[in-house]
Amino acid sequence: MGKFYTTTPIFYPNARPHLGNLYPTVLADVLARYHRLIGDATHFLTGTDENTQKMVDSATKLHREPMAFLDETVQQFKKTFNDFGISYDQFIRTTDQRVHWPGSTALWKELVASGDIYKKEYEGLYCVGHEAFVTEKELVNGKCPDHDTEPQHLKEENYFFRLSKYTSQIKGKIESGELLVLPETRRNEIVSLLNEGLEDVSFSRPRRANWPESLGVPVPGDPSQIMYVWCDALANYATAVGYGRDKEGFARWWPADVHVIGKDILRFHAAIWPAMLLSAGMQLPRVILAHGLILSGGRKMSKTLGNVIDPIVLAEKYGAEAVRYYLLRHISPFTDGDMTEEGFNDAYNGNLANGLGNLVARVMKLAEDNLDAPVAVRNHAFPKGVSDALDAFEFTKAMDVVWAEIQALDQRINAEAPFKLIKIHPEAGKHLITELVQRLALLSYMIAPFMPETAEKIGIAVRTNTKPESLFKRIEP
């Protein structure tokens, strides 16, 4: 039994979370639940990235005071995560001056001590959507293609981080797998970026007049500057578990076992973050899992583009567990996938209403009608097919293993017809039904990391020997 520390990106809480934001959170949740089931001491971190221009702009547009606006939108994130059964152990906010600021300040000082921070006059283009400097060649018709907005032209004095110094060291660690970047396409992408060489990055911004004091971590020794949002945001993975304030907690959890992120923020996690850690003499995370993007109408689903699917609306119609199911089985973590409500509806009716829901109803009806007492259920090791797939982060494959078992049970029922058998040969019939219930219990164990509430309902049905209320009602598109 080991320890397992997993994280999601921290989110910009400038609007309610959309399906794309829920995705990495559901992936990390499955990993956390699985590791708890197999007995690992587990810490699951998520949170919000708040010290940003985006936040100030969004609040200003709504004539809101930024901190009050943040408190509200952060609540919406927490509520959405709770509604979807996200079992996070910790929710970090980068405006938290007790939890986060001591560590991000301490980390900055380490970078300074290593001689990796220097001051420089800088002129460039800043995309607020990315919260990053962009280059001319990344623009299309003068606009950022991801956000359809013109970047700001900035000329300011900043502190820079010597990212260039760490290029070859990071490359070595990624190529050797010491820092495992998955999937391979993303590993290749980052290696080729490293082959081109990394340029130093701006790591601070002058504090602007419309920023409240409580937003933005001041640069140690120079409060006229605040840390650049990515510098402060990346640090959250370490500060959350105690870096800079709780040595024991930090030693217990660090290094992170898996950072789940989207491929759009790979460069920050697989280049800048490792460089910061190397500069500070800290261990690197073990795995960076960079999933693909959920597209809507062929483009990245994003608040800025306004093509988002609201997970709450989906959940009101189909249930939160169905949304988890869809994200885990029908969206590949390794490539982009377009999503439509029609496809969602088909998957729901075919595999949840007819597949899983129908199987549970059939078996438990047989059990309720024919068995005198609940079936005793043996303890099992977590099924290997599922754990092998999860150890390799093959979420869709793990789900396929579960659905193959559902299909096998359906076929068995069709072939051996327990409802007939029980009439002509009651003992054999009872025996078969008992076995079916046992396999249903095992099935509930298998799906627990993916669909925890459904697993619980099946567990209760088995323990009380009753057919549950329909788990997934058929829904017309």
CB-based closest residue to ligand MSP: 262
Cβ-based nearer residue to ligand MSP, 40 or 338: 338
Residue 196 dihedral angles phi and psi, to the nearest 5°? -75, -20
**Residues 293, 302: contact at Cβ < 8 Å?**
no
Residue 187 or residue 300: which is nearer to ligand MSP going by CB? 300
- Between 21 and 454, whose beta carbon lies closer to ligand MSP? 21
| CA atoms within 13 Å, Cβ hemisphere of 124 | 19
In angstroms, what is the minimal distance from the CB of 190 to ligand MSP?
15
24: preceding bond cis by omega (within 30 degrees): no
Sign of CA dihedral 6, 233, 140, 306: positive
Q: How far is the CB of 270 from ligand MSP (least distance, A)?
A: 12
Q: Say if strands 258-262 and 287-291 run parallel, antiparallel, or are unpaired.
A: parallel
Distance CA 163, CA 198 (A): 6
Q: How far is the CB of 92 from ligand MSP (least distance, A)?
A: 10
The minimum distance between CB 376 and ligand MSP, in angstroms, equals: 43
The least distance separating ligand MSP from the CB of residue 289, rounded to whole angstroms, comes to 10
Angle (CA) 19-36-100 rounded to 5° is 65
Smallest distance, ligand MSP to C-beta of residue 230, A = 7
| Closest CB 295 distance from ligand MSP, rounded Å | 7
User: Could you list the residues that contact ligand MSP (CB under 6 A)?
Assistant: 9-12, 20-21, 23-24, 49, 233-234, 261-262, 264-265, 293-294, 300-302
- Residue 258 tokens read as 């898996």
Output 181 or 375, the one with its CB closest to ligand MSP. Answer: 181
| Angstrom distance (rounded) from CA 203 to CA 194 | 19
First-to-final CA distance of the chain: 45
Smallest distance from ligand MSP to CB 447, Å? 23
- Minimum distance of ligand MSP from residue 362's CB (angstroms): 36
Identify the CA nearest to 236 among candidates 52, 396, 94.
Answer: 94
The alpha helices in 197-319, defined as continuous H runs, are 229-234, 236-239, 247-253, 266-267, 273-279, 311-318
Give the Cα separation of 418 and 435 in Å (integer).
11
Residue 83: CB minimum distance to ligand MSP, A: 18
Cα dihedral sign for 240, 244, 246, 251? positive
The smaller minimum CB distance to ligand MSP, of residues 226 and 234, is found at: 234
- Our CA angle for 178, 181, 187, nearest 5°, is 115
CA angle, corner 285, sides to 27 and 281, nearest 5? 155
20 vs 242 by CB, closer to ligand MSP: 20
Give one word for 289, left, alpha or beta, with left for phi > 0 and alpha for psi -120 to 50: beta
Q: How far apart are alpha carbons 205 and 228 in whole angstroms?
A: 6
User: Cα angle at 57 between 237 and 223, to 5 degrees?
Assistant: 60
Q: How far is the CB of 358 from ligand MSP (least distance, A)?
A: 31
Count CA within 13 A, CB hemisphere, residue 290: 21
Q: Which residue has the tokens 């990344």?
A: 138
Residue with token string 């001319």 = 136
CB 461 within 8 A of CB 443: no
* Least distance in angstroms from the C-beta of 336 to ligand MSP: 8
Q: How many residues does the chain have?
A: 477
